[in-house]
Structure 1
Amino acid sequence: MMTREHTRCLIVGSGPAGYTAAIYAGRANLNPVLYCGMQTGGQLTQTTEVENFPGYPQGVDGNQMMLDLRQQAERFGADIRDGELVKADFSKKPYVLTTDRGLEIEAESVIIATGASAKYLGLPDEEKYSGQGVSACATCDGFFYRKKVVAVVGGGDTACEEAIYLSGLCSKVYMIVRKPYLRASDVMKRRVEQNEKIEVLYEHNTLGLYGENGLEGAHLVKRMGQTDEQRYDLPIDGFFLAIGHKPNTDIFKEWLDLDEVGYIKTLDGTPKTNLEGVFAAGDCADSVYRQAVVAAGSGCKAALEAERYLASLNG
């Protein structure tokens, strides 16, 4: 028989959105329970240094920043637990979510802050050089590659935006594009083509990465006709993935309105979802900005809305 417990506010996810929601919910005496999810601290724990989050004038290690947020949430009474929620039943109130250890949690309100996972090529070298030249966020990490040579993988609007952004910092930007054309909108194509710092490598695939003390280059293959190919090494300092993100929302798709990619749809610029008492914050509901400070702000809004919702239940 499964064990069951009850909470007024359950927070799913532990990045900037989840921890900020826990801080606000804790200060509101909601006694929130937070489950950290599959990656405690979220995507920022894969970043060596964060320089664009307010309050850290000298920058901060991503893991340290998440530890600071966690400790602040715990100071206000948040019950923070390791583990994942693997099943959701939003068919009736209170909502029931099940942990990976079989515990059922009844929740009067739920804040979903499960984030999104960057898509990678699946190369072993991507993990090897993570934080040492490989990144999935140009806005987050581009500053560290000023006046250096970088490559962006992808041919859509996001890849073009990343390449254009990096061209303002770097001496040279290569775009590694699998197809013989860019999938991006016409306006983004023109901006890339007119940018002297950007060179598009069409019909190229990345075979691997190399470097002794951090990333030094990429092993590439260029398709030439139906059967021929050319293999060569491209010296680069940074390798940016821009082939999309997958929101971590699979367990909620039966109950919540999602877009075609899987991002949670929220109502009228609020963190409210199509279900009363269920709120979404951070990258699981944000396909545009994907920044820590934006996620933290949305976590604040979600907790404030949860507080108002719970107050309305009590008249």
Structure 2
Amino acid sequence: MKDTIIIGGGPAGMTAAIYLKRFGKNVTVIMKDCGALGKTDVVENYYGFNTIGGCELVKNGMEQAKKLGVEIIEDEVINLSYDGDYLVKTANKEYQAKTVLLATGSNRSKLRVKGFEDYVGKGISFCAICDGFFYKNKKLAIIGNGKYMEEELNVLKEYTKDILVFTNETSLEVEVDYPVIKSKITELQGNVKLEKIITKDGEYDIDGIFVAMGTASASDFATKMGAEVSNNKIVVNTNHETNIPGLYAAGDCIGGILQISKAISDGTAASLAINKYLKNLT
């Protein structure tokens, strides 16, 4: 049992890990890669560095945390649940913790095709656990190609067997027992609600779409847990705690100025709050 699992290893998550470890807590960071910061070639506005690469900065933080004894697991988190304790499921293993900090940034994938924005909430969903029930015995489409899509698909098949998997010209990374359409999606159509997916090779009548492209974002996990989310940002109080006790969020996923310095401040504040919360549990 971990005291805290931090999902995301960027400036907010790793800063929180460093502080929590210094407080004597059993903390684990689970991260897949350098995240959004890894896509930044040069950082020129961070104190103490004339210039530094984004991924290099992330790796420096990882090494600093490792020297303190922070456990860092490089894996993809595909689900988060709570049953007295938090259960974090990755592509390869499951971990339990008393608290969780969401710090994966803000990266909910959108489908950049005509009609997408028109049908969000009108046939397009991002959470199988939240909305799957409303499509019992309906014809569904799920868009994605990896472990996160597979996890969402496992939820949806409890409600309907009529499911099409759309990879949108990406390679399917997992095995599925449902029809797979690989061609590019070009348009979504309907009247009041979504009714049809158009690809460059055909048309498909559907009742709903579940979007599970790439990896799950912090807001995806928060939504599944029932935490408050507004405009794709997790709502937290002054202690960086969500409306669910023991579930915290920091960094870009809570909005505000999307800067490294702000993310580090968030991580620091969240770690202080988590440490206080854990003390009150004992």
**Common topology (TM > 0.5):** yes
Q: Which residue of the partner structure matches residue 82 of structure 1?
A: 74
Unaligned runs of at least 5 residues, structure 2 = 114-215
Distance 1:247 1:33, change over 3 A: closer
Partner of 1:36: 31
1:257 corresponds in structure 2 to 227
Match of 1:116 among 86, 93, 106: 106
Indicate the RMSD between aligned Cα atoms, in angstroms: 2.2
CA distance, structure 2, for counterparts of residue 310 and residue 24 of structure 1 = 14
Q: CA deviation at 1:100?
A: 1.1
TM-fit CA distance, 1:31: 2.4
Stretches (4+) displaced over 4 A? 118-123
Structure 1 distance, partners of 2:259, 2:277, is: 27
> Structure 1, residues 141-178: CA drift from partner, whole Å, max 9, x if none?
xxxxxxxxxxxxxxxxxxxxxxxxxxxxxxxxxxxxxx
Please tell me whether the aligned partners of residues 247 and 262 of structure 1 are also in contact (alpha carbons under 8 angstroms). Answer: no
Distance in structure 1 (CA, Å) of the matches to 2:242 and 2:253: 12
Name which of 84, 97, 122 aligns with 1:107.
Answer: 97
Q: Which runs of 5 or more residues in structure 1 are unaligned?
A: 1-5, 124-245
1:254 CA drift (Å): 2.6
Residue in 1 that maps onto 2:260: 292
Matches within 5 A, 1:92-103: 92-101=83-92, 103=93
Q: CA deviation at 1:24?
A: 0.7
* Distance in 1 of aligned mates of 2:62 and 2:101: 16
Partner of residue 208, structure 2: none
Larger Rg: 1
The question of whether the paired residues in 2 share the 8 Å contact of 1:247 and 1:263 is answered with no
Task: Determine if contact 2:242/2:249 at 8 Å carries over to the other structure.
Answer: yes
Alignment of 1:9 with 2:1, yes or no, is no
Q: Which residue of 1 aligns with 2:58?
A: 66
Contact 2:240 2:269 (8 Å CA) reproduced: yes
Q: Which residue matches 1:309?
A: 277
Tell me the residue number matched to 2:42: 49
Do the aligned residues in 2 keep the contact of 1:32 with 1:77 (CA within 8 Å)?
no
Aligned to 1:20: 15
Alpha-carbon distance in 2 for matches of 1:121, 1:51 = 32
CA deviation after TM superposition for structure 1 residue 116, in Å: 0.9
The question of whether the paired residues in 2 share the 8 Å contact of 1:22 and 1:32 is answered with yes
1:73-93 Cα distance to aligned partner (Å, 9 max, x none): 111111001112111112x32
Q: TM-score by structure 2 length?
A: 0.59
TM-score w.r.t. length of structure 1:
0.53
Q: Provide the rounded CA distance (Å) in 2 between the counterparts of 1:249 and 1:14.
A: 16
Alignment-mate amino acid for residue 27 of structure 1 = R
Report 1:262-273 matches (<5 A): 262-267=232-237, 269-273=238-242
254 and 71 in structure 1: CA distance in 2 versus 1, 3 angstrom threshold: same
Q: Quote how far apart the aligned CAs of 1:291 are.
A: 0.8
SS at 1:73's partner residue? helix
Q: Given the superposition, is the C-alpha separation of residues 100 and 121 from structure 1 closer, same or farther in structure 2, using an over 3 Å criterion?
A: closer
CA distance in 1, matches of 2:40, 2:27: 27
Q: Across the two proteins, how many residue pairs are aligned to each other?
A: 180
Distance 2:108 2:245 in 1: 30
Residue deviations 1:234-279 (CA, integer Å, cap 9, x gap): xxxxxxxxxxxx9542133132433343211101x32111111111
Given that 2:103 and 2:249 are in contact with CA atoms closer than 8 Å, whether structure 1 keeps it comes out as yes
- Kept in 2, the 8 Å contact 1:86–1:99? The answer is yes
Paired AA for residue 273 in structure 1: T
Any idea what SS the aligned residue of 1:111 has?
A: strand
In percent, how many aligned pairs have the same letter?
A: 29
Any conservation in 2 of the 1:257–1:274 contact (CA below 8 Å)?
Answer: yes
Q: Answer whether contact 1:16 1:41 (CA < 8 A) is retained.
A: no
CA contact (8 A) 2:108 2:219 kept: no
